[in-house]
Structure 1
Amino acid sequence: MIEWSKLTDPEIDALDRNLPVILPVGLIEAHGAHLESGFDSYSADWFARRLCAEAGAILLPVIPYGFADTNWEYASTLGVKAETLGMIIGDLCILLARHGFKKIIVLSGHGGNGIGATLGFQRAFEVFPDLQPAHWCYFLTGGVPMSHADEKETSLAIAIGGVVHMDRAEDFVLKKPWHEVYSRKSIAPKAGGMNGKATLATREMGEDILNRILPVLVDKLKAIIKE
């Protein structure tokens, strides 16, 4: 696997510029009482590593602090504003492009990071209009939507080695209003950021989800490499 942070300057300079660079981005975020707060970051890094290993792309270090959107008020959530994330992603895209790497995939473990990615791409386009960036939220792009710490995300965490406390799992289905909200805690103060039926999570469900997501992402990545 080509891991940027473990290579020397001459080794990086010798890399094929046609190879995509994958930047995993997560979020430290409330996931109830049963799932680790860092799972969005852990899972983004996990999928990025698998993709790079299987398709030959270049792996960048994970950014753990993504866009802290509606779960920002829960105790374990640590992140940044969308504009801040956009500045970071934009700066990295500009430097990567200066070095000749213009195929850049932001692989996210948190859906809200797409806002920051879009802001960053637009900023980088002003300097490199021929940049080829994309934002993939691994579960949405992979075709398996899931909610915060629900049975799907919890099952996936079990399957890939995340920190899960099934003895603490509870079910809570959030009734979302028709409009956007600024704070999820304001409408569900005791939910701990979760939404779903975590008690139904199983390793088998997680392995099925994994086997559905990973081939889709690998095929997309291999097609990009061939371009």
Structure 2
Amino acid sequence: MYLADHAWPDLESYFEEESLALVPLGSTEQHGPHLPEATDHLIGEAFAREVADRTGYLCTPTINVGVSGHHRQFHGTMWVEPPAFREYMESLTRNLTTHGIDRVIYVNAHGGNVQHLREVGSRLRQEGVAYAIEWMWDESIPELVDDLFAQNGPHGGPKETSMIQYLEPELVHDDRLEEARDTGVPSVEDAETVKHGSRTFFDAADNTDNGVLGDQTDASAEKGEQLFEAASDQLVQLSEWLAAQDFEDLLPNDHV
């Protein structure tokens, strides 16, 4: 059920019967010479809409710009500063609670958003306002990701390339996959920016000249379909688990 498609009187029954919302998030940032800057938010929205269709739970509009300042050296990357992102996401989630939503899954496809969504969720839980948790598609199926790719990236690598080849194939520059591989680096380890236990890099450009890592030629739409179906199943199960919980059981424990 996609919130923005419905007139307000037609949403009343959902809010009377259900208390869960899926909020898709991503970013608008460089993903190398072969993928669109929409990569992350396209993936996040695809998962949220798929699972909303399969379960009947509510899907909100997508948050397309996130915490992406570490990609700022590449043309077109958009970002907001972390405090602004946290404030916005907290405000948006509190908005949902006024309609009776007390549990939220942030269907997130951008690693730069993770720690900030966790902070927002923790604050809302401490206040007893809502139970809001972050979900990353690839972290829900790590064994499959490892089985499909010898080197998955992470950023702009074959797992994300496969996903967009499956979801939005017309947006992928397949003729640039070898360029992406050959002008990038296989991994952060290969970039040699971890020194004596310290991550000495701050931006993507510190690690890779073209913005991406991994072997993009190892991607395929068929692998993307496998990833999408497997992770969608995980998100369905998470949604059903969360909807079945008593809200009081989701709140912090009393002091020992």
Deviating runs (4+, > 4 A) in structure 1? none
Deviates more, 1:207-216 or 1:53-62: 207-216
- Per the normalisation by structure 1, the TM-score is 0.89
The aligned counterpart of 2:201 is 181
CA contact (8 A) 2:19 2:100 kept: no
Whether 1:221 aligns to 2:239 is yes
The aligned counterpart of 1:137 is 136
**Greater Rg, structure 1 or structure 2?**
2
Change in CA separation of 1:164 and 1:222 when aligned onto 2, cut-off 3 Å:
same
Secondary structure of the 2:199 match is coil
CA contact (8 A) 2:125 2:131 kept: no
The aligned counterpart of 1:83 is 83
The aligned counterpart of 2:95 is 95
Whether 1:10 aligns to 2:17 is no
When the two chains are superposed, the root-mean-square deviation of aligned CA atoms in Å is 2.0
Residue identity in the other structure for 2:155: H
Change in CA separation of 1:22 and 1:55 when aligned onto 2, cut-off 3 Å:
same
Change in CA separation of 1:17 and 1:117 when aligned onto 2, cut-off 3 Å:
farther
- Per the normalisation by structure 2, the TM-score is 0.80
Secondary structure of the 1:186 match is helix
Displacement of 1:59: 0.7
The aligned counterpart of 2:63 is 63
For 1:62 and 1:181, the matched residues in 2 are separated by 30
Residue identity in the other structure for 1:57: Y
Deviates more, 1:167-176 or 1:74-83: 167-176
Deviates more, 1:113-122 or 1:45-54: 113-122
Matches within 5 A, 1:156-195: 156-162=163-169, 163-169=171-177, 170-171=180-181, 172=184, 173-174=186-187, 175=191, 176-177=193-194, 178-179=198-199, 181-188=201-208, 190-191=209-210, 193-195=211-213
Displacement of 1:115: 1.9
CA shift digits 1:153-196 (9 cap, x unpaired): 111111122511110112132424241632121343x22x2111
Match of 2:220 among 202, 213, 218: 202
Unpaired runs of 5+ residues, structure 2, are 147-151, 246-256
Residue identity in the other structure for 1:29: E
Unpaired runs of 5+ residues, structure 1, are none
Displacement of 1:125: 4.2
CA shift digits 1:47-105 (9 cap, x unpaired): 10001011111010001001114222211311112221111110011111122101111
CA contact (8 A) 2:3 2:59 kept: yes
Deviates more, 1:201-210 or 1:61-70: 201-210
Residue identity in the other structure for 2:117: A
For 1:141 and 1:115, the matched residues in 2 are separated by 17
Change in CA separation of 1:45 and 1:180 when aligned onto 2, cut-off 3 Å:
farther
CA contact (8 A) 1:151 1:199 kept: yes
